[in-house]
Amino acid sequence: MSVSTAIKQRVTKLREEINHHNYLYYVQDAPEIPDSEYDRLLRELQQLEQQHPELIVPESPTQRVGATPLSEFAEVRHRVPMLSLNNAFEAQEVEDFDRRARDRLAVKEIVYTAEPKLDGLAISLLYEDGVLVRGATRGDGATGEDVTQNVRTIDSIPLKLVGRNFPRVLEVRGEVIMTKSGFEKLNQTQRDKDEKTFANPRNAAAGSLRQLDSRITAARPLSFYAYAVGVAEDGELAKTQFQLLAQLRQWGLRTNPEIKRVKGVRGCLDYYHAIAEKRNRLDYDIDGVVYKVDELAQQAQLGFVSRAPRWAVAHKFAAQEEMTKLVAIEVQVGRTGALTPVARLEPVFVGGVTVTNATLHNQDEIERKDIRIGDTVIVRRAGDVIPEVVSAVVSRRPKGTKKFVMPDKCPVCGSEVIRLENEAVARCTGGLFCAAQRKQAIKHFAARRAMDIEGLGDKLVEQLVDQDMIHDVADLYKLSVAELAEMERMGEKSAQNIVDALEKSKATTLPRFLFALGIRQVGETTARTLAQHFGNLDAIMHASEAGLEAVQDVGPVVAESIAHFFHEPHNRKVIQKLRHAGVHWPDIEVSPAQELPLAGKTFVITGTLESMSRDEAKEKLEQLGGKVSGSVSKKTDYVIVGESPGSKAAKAEALGVAMLDEQAFLKLLGHS
């Protein structure tokens, strides 16, 4: 039976498109479409070729791993090809994989090593007599690029192995990644320098590693995890993947702390769910997990099929990036008057939910990324983070797209919009005259961590402002049950509940009240420090900027903002009205900082903590008078080391700074 022209044309078209995206991804480090879309194209081609094997040609993208390397780096031929992994998306596919492997091995159950699938780029490191002599990218799997000078700059890659019983020739493989925190910092620096930002940590890692000038690489926060051995000569290797990783660690190579040995398909799937749950707390991106048959002898028995091993499979998470159409750009006005451009999207399922709106951050970002109304865009939703538009797919740009212009009048109140020099955001100058800002200010005031007014939801606040029933937060305390009961979707009972909640909220604390006022630059932590420093509201209201700057962590910008707020007659009047309405709090006995148990001590936190986020840890330490710094120096008193610590732990070790593991840290908090 001959294949129809339509199918032949589709196959040709798919190959061209995949080749183009391969080139963008591998050679240019500038992919235009998300991996999920690429996978779909490849899967479609694979399916068509499976149905019509006579169409398969050696140069089809299904028949090789990647694209040709750039000419600027020397070529490296891999003695053992660097292969790829087959993907599984559903549990069923993992079960099929396991069943096939069991059948071939004729065993009842297989032990696997389960590993996170790190979202970086594969690298080969060659050690001769324990000395790093070459680093190479994977390239197309057969030939990669010599990036020795660059890998030498990565802290987590040892230039010399430790111990002595390693093979004379050892080729280690692993993943070069950029941490999420390192990525955020890098992009901030790029923005400050008015240079191009990276779309995600993977692109940033790839772009950093493939720099012809290794000094640039050295300035980038790259790290490395080893996960395999390519070549080993004159030396004994362990008998299982799990032990092999332990051996690599002994030789000084970093392996991922989440790696576990599991039994059977049940163990694999449990691992998958545990890692999926933990994913957002890890400081690096992963796009799934990898199951590898643990026994190396069994691996050898299973072997390879075309480009991937039969003894391993990548179990991928739902994509966090998808493509959709940007229908319109609207402008939202925040509590502080900041105007945020928001993308209205054709609904798209990404990161496990349907997304219709995504932030575009600010005008500069839109211009830098050249995103236009009508574009096809890539939307990213990672964990509980607000979805964002990452980039436009320029190759799919239709005719008639429109550039976005920030309005010069506030879309809510019509006041003038200004943008201060050195500030990325445009702001409405309407202040509390602007209904949008008033609504946000009131919602913030009522929030759980502020005045904690239960039942006063966003919808109700909006109605109250729209119907001119409240002008400022103090007006809330004048609302009657009868008035509230009139509102949409309210009854006598819920109205009564809100009045009760308002009554209850009157007894508050000074830190909460300060935070609730919504002073710019004053978050919960600063509110607490201010309260502890001054003890009562009048002292804060009358403090000079210099007096405010004497407070720990209050700099000139924050001090100015606080002083400005209390100088404003309108704000003073609202505070007076609130006190009049009966809002009250106990004053705080001022405890001089040196009396706090950790006063004068400086801490640095590195790695991931099990029991709390880094922010929470910082807050706890500060409450006890400690100072938390971002970098280790001789002045550091303690480094708190969580899981997968960064180079800070090594630096602390080198400087002889005391280190606390999580247990010791919790103990310190408890005892202080």
Near ligand IVH in 137-176, by CB under 6 A: 138, 175
Q: Is 112 strand, coil or helix?
A: strand
Q: Which residues in the 285-304 window bind ligand IVH by CB under 6 A?
A: 290
Query: Which of 118, 154, 434, 436 lies at the binding interface for ligand IVH (CB under 6 A)?
Result: 118
Give the whole-angstrom CA distance, residue 149 versus residue 591. 54
Give the bridge partners for 160, in sequence order. 131
Q: Does 115 bind ligand IVH (CB under 6 A)?
A: yes
CB nearer ligand IVH, residue 40 or residue 335: 40
The rounded distance, in Å, linking the Cα atoms of 604 and 659 is 9
Count of residues near ligand IVH by CB under 6 A: 15
- Rule CB under 6 A: is residue 490 a binding residue for ligand IVH? no
Q: Stretches 96-104, 111-119, 190-198, 509-517: which one binds ligand IVH (CB under 6 A)?
A: 111-119
> Could you say which of 108, 117, 369, 504 is catalytic?
117
Q: Taking CA 233 as the corner, what is the angle to CA 229 and CA 238, rounded to the nearest 5 degrees?
A: 50
| Residue among 302 and 473 whose Cβ is closer to ligand IVH | 302
Give 617-625 contacts, CB < 8 A, sequence gap 24+.
617/665, 619/525, 620/669, 621/669, 622/525, 622/529, 622/552, 622/553, 623/528, 624/596, 624/597, 624/598, 624/669, 624/672, 625/593, 625/594, 625/595, 625/596, 625/597, 625/598, 625/599, 625/600, 625/601
Least spacing, CB of residue 227 vs ligand IVH, in Å:
4
Q: Which C-beta is closer to ligand IVH: that of 117 or that of 618?
A: 117
When binding is defined by CB under 6 A, the residue of 14, 269, 314, 456 that contacts ligand IVH is 314
Q: Which stretch binds ligand IVH (CB under 6 A): 78-86, 423-431, 465-473, 611-619?
A: 78-86
Grouping H, G, I as helix, E, B as strand and the rest as coil, residue 203 is: helix
Q: Least Å distance between CB 396 and ligand IVH?
A: 26
Q: Residue number with the shortest CB distance to ligand IVH?
A: 122
Minimum CB–partner distance for residue 173 and ligand IVH (Å): 7
Residue 667 falls in the annotated catalytic set: no
- Residue 69: closest CA among 210, 208, 215: 210
User: Which CA distances in Å does 2 have to 8, 9, 52, 60, 116?
Assistant: 10, 14, 9, 20, 45
The yes or no reply on residue 230 touching ligand IVH (CB under 6 A) is no
Question: Which amino acid is residue 168, in one-letter code?
Answer: R
Segment near ligand IVH (CB under 6 A), from 80-88, 429-437, 447-455, 474-482? 80-88
Q: Are 187 and 142 in contact (CB under 8 A)?
A: no
Question: Is 404:341 a contact under the CB 8 Å cutoff?
Answer: yes
Residue 644 near residue 257, CB atoms below 8 Å: yes
Rounded to whole angstroms, what are the CA distances from 257 to 121, 249, 260, 314, 644? 18, 11, 8, 18, 6
Q: Return the number of the residue (81 or 411) whose C-beta is nearest ligand IVH.
A: 81
With CB under 6 A as the contact rule, the residue among 81, 230, 309, 547 that binds ligand IVH is 309
Segment interacting with ligand IVH, rule: CB under 6 A, options 117-125, 455-463, 469-477, 583-591: 117-125
DSSP string, 627-651: EEESS--TT--EEEE-BS--HHHHH
CB of 120 to ligand IVH, least distance (A): 7
Determine the straight-line distance between the first and last CA of the chain, rounded to whole angstroms.
81
Q: At what angle do helices 614-623 and 662-671 cross, to 10 degrees?
A: 30
Query: Which of residues 101, 151, 245, 312 is near ligand IVH by CB under 6 A?
Result: 312
* Residue selected from 26, 73, 198, 227 as contacting ligand IVH according to rule CB under 6 A: 227
> CB of 401: closest distance to ligand IVH in angstroms?
35
Write down the residue that tokens 């940007």 correspond to.
326
State the nearest-atom distance from the C-beta of 310 to ligand IVH, in Å: 10
Q: Which stretch binds ligand IVH (CB under 6 A): 308-316, 548-556, 611-619, 626-634?
A: 308-316
Closest distance of CB 187 from ligand IVH, Å: 23
Exactly one of 15, 78, 117, 444 binds ligand IVH (CB under 6 A); that residue is: 117
Nearer to ligand IVH, 278 or 520 (CB): 278
SS3 content of the chain, % helix, strand, coil (to 5): 40, 20, 35
Out of 28, 36, 60, 84, the only residue in the binding site for ligand IVH (CB under 6 A) is: 84
Q: Does 228 bind ligand IVH (CB under 6 A)?
A: yes
CA dihedral sign, ordered 463, 466, 469, 475:
positive
The residues that touch ligand IVH, with contacts defined as CB under 6 A, are 83-85, 115, 117-118, 122, 138, 175, 227-228, 290, 309, 312, 314
Q: Which residues are catalytic, by number? A: 117
